[in-house]
Structure 1
Amino acid sequence: MLTFRVVIPARFASTRLPGKPLLDIGGKPMVIRVAEQAAQSGAQQVIIATDHPSILAAAAQHDFQACMTRSDHASGTDRIAEVAAQQGWGDDTIVVNVQGDEPLVPPGLIRAVAQHLHDHAGCAIATACHAIHDEASMRNPNVVKTVLDKHGNALYFSRAPIPWPRDAFMDSATGRGDSPSSPQGKVGSGESQRNIEMLRHIGLYAYRAGFLRTYGQLAPAAIEQAESLEQLRALYHGYKIGVTIATDAPPAGVDTERDLQVARQLFARPGN
């Protein structure tokens, strides 16, 4: 039977939206909206991991468990590793990292990532992706792409368009052949390249607690630093990342003031 925990890293500082975890969305702090979604996933435990007493107080006010963590963590993964150590979780405990700025994260997707790790003993991490259906996303460096092997494990993650259908993009640049991207998310010209699907990475991760303890001891990788993608450290050191493919793209997180207004409008609707 699947059992897993959810940890929500909620760092107070934010360059674009100061105090982001506590920003109001429909009468509740954003991080509480995230925790409510996580609680619907079937997780045995949901913990908000923070570096600020105001977030700790907000969690208590809304009856969610929270814990204080160090303020100098380089990443959310490091913060989650500290929580796993505090809780004394065994090596096989599955821990899902749900970002504190994802108030609309689908509970079913959280569970699917945990289930994928549970079902694939050879993977140290599980994550998710969905098909890209437009060229703008394909070329956007803020949209992280991934390619998978035949077993559904990640081969690489990049901010660049991958895979790169050589002939198709050359034809597109010279005005010959098909457009590099079709409405079905397929890219390329020629039969083999038409069957290539570009995949967008979804920043949701499940780990085993034993790997979380190992991760902090791994040396940073040059590819990780070049792409600014911390999951590449695990790949560089030979750890497998299993990827579940979602049918649809999940709602966007809150990174900007515009994102915040969209989330507030959605939660203002009846039933939310």
Structure 2
Amino acid sequence: MKIIVVIPARYGSTRFEGKPLALIAGKPMIRRVYEASKAAENINDVIVATDDTRILDAVEAFGGKGMITSRTNRSGTDRAGEVAERLGLAPDDIVINVQGDQPLLEPKCLEQVIQPFFSEPGAEMSTLAFRIINPEEITNPKHVKTVFDEQGNALYFSRSPIPFGREADVVFDTYKHLGIYAYTRQFLETYKALPEGRLEAIEKLEQLRVLEYGYRISVVVTEYNSPEVDLPEDIGIIEKLLEQRG
């Protein structure tokens, strides 16, 4: 069984054009994500999947591997599926989809997200969740929340606070979804063939497509946060966190 990391990286973000190439403490963000992915154990290869030669050139300049993928892909998952197909991966090989805007990625997260494939019979897709510490993230739609059942299967993902505590004195944890996924190559093919889901279109969350069509997503709770860069002003925040980590 091979385990491949694919890092989708688009150049034309409407809120932050050229985001993967933004410098964070002197390094392009895509390089930080790539190097963190390479540092994870039991990973056979790491590939940046991009739609722009400027990103590909930057990746190859620091010795990384990249691939130009189709601009017609609907999501990062579709882009990961194209890479898996072009690599000729076997049906039970695992593809980890790592967002290219998480420069503080902890390599152990990649080791955690694939655990369901070795412990749960029939696991086809998994993702990570982090218990929210900063209360502001609960109401901020930038941070996607998730709820899951007693077996760790996702029930829903939303930009709204979930669950909602009707009684003010009820204390409970809220979990933030980290945009790191793992799938079998076979399930990636299934996913690519599914039409866009109604809830997916409303919330603009690609993972809802999986739940809407009756498939299962295993949720692994991690102790490692992985903040994203959405806007240029987020760079300073990430650099401060990087400095704190030493």
TM-score scaled by length of structure 2? 0.92
One-letter code aligned to 1:246: T
Does the C-alpha gap of structure 1 residues 235 and 54 become closer, same or farther in structure 2, counting only changes over 3 Å?
A: same
> 1:88–1:155: structure 2 CA closer, same or farther, 3 Å change rule?
same
Instruction: Tell me the SS of whatever aligns to 2:181.
Output: strand
Aligned residues: 245
The CA distance in 1 between the partners of 2:120 and 2:194, in whole Å, is 22
Aligned counterparts, 1:23-102, within 5 A: 23-42=22-41, 43-102=43-102
Residues 114 and 126, structure 1, Cα contact 8 Å, conserved in 2:
yes
Structure 2 SS opposite 1:18? coil
Contact kept? 1:12, 1:19, Cα under 8 Å: yes
Structure 1 residue aligned with 2:157: 157
1:261 paired with 2:236, answer: yes
SS in structure 2 at match of 1:127 = strand
* Match of residue 206, structure 1, among 182, 190, 194: 182
Cα distance per residue 1:137-173 (max 9 Å; x no partner): 222222211111111111111122222233x1xxx4x
Question: Contact 1:51/1:70 (CA < 8 Å) preserved in 2?
Answer: yes
CA distance in 1: counterparts of 2:245 and 2:206, whole angstroms: 37
Q: Could you tell me how far 1:89 is from its partner in structure 2? A: 0.5
Residue in 2 aligned with 1:116? 116
- Contact preservation (8 Å) 1:10, 1:51: yes
**1:188-209 Cα shifts (integer Å, max 9, x gaps):** 1xxxxx4x43221111101111
CA distance in 1, matches of 2:211, 2:245: 42
**Matching residue within 222, 225, 234 for 1:246:** 222
- Unmatched segments (≥5 aa) in structure 2: none
CA distance in 1, matches of 2:26, 2:101: 16
Q: TM-score, normalised by structure 1?
A: 0.84
The one-letter code matched in structure 1 to 2:11 is F
Distance 1:108 1:149 in 2: 24
Match of 1:230 in 2: 206
Consecutive unaligned residues of structure 1, counting only runs of 5 or more, are 173-177, 179-187, 189-193
Q: Secondary structure at the match of 1:126?
A: strand
The Cα shift of 1:266 comes to 4.9
> Take 2:44 and 2:136, find their aligned partners in 1: how far apart are those partners?
39
Cα 1:7/1:58, change in 2 over 3 Å: same
Partner AA of 1:95 in structure 2: V
- Give the alignment's Cα RMSD to 1 decimal: 2.0
Question: Contact conserved, 1:49 with 1:83, CA < 8 A, in 2?
Answer: yes
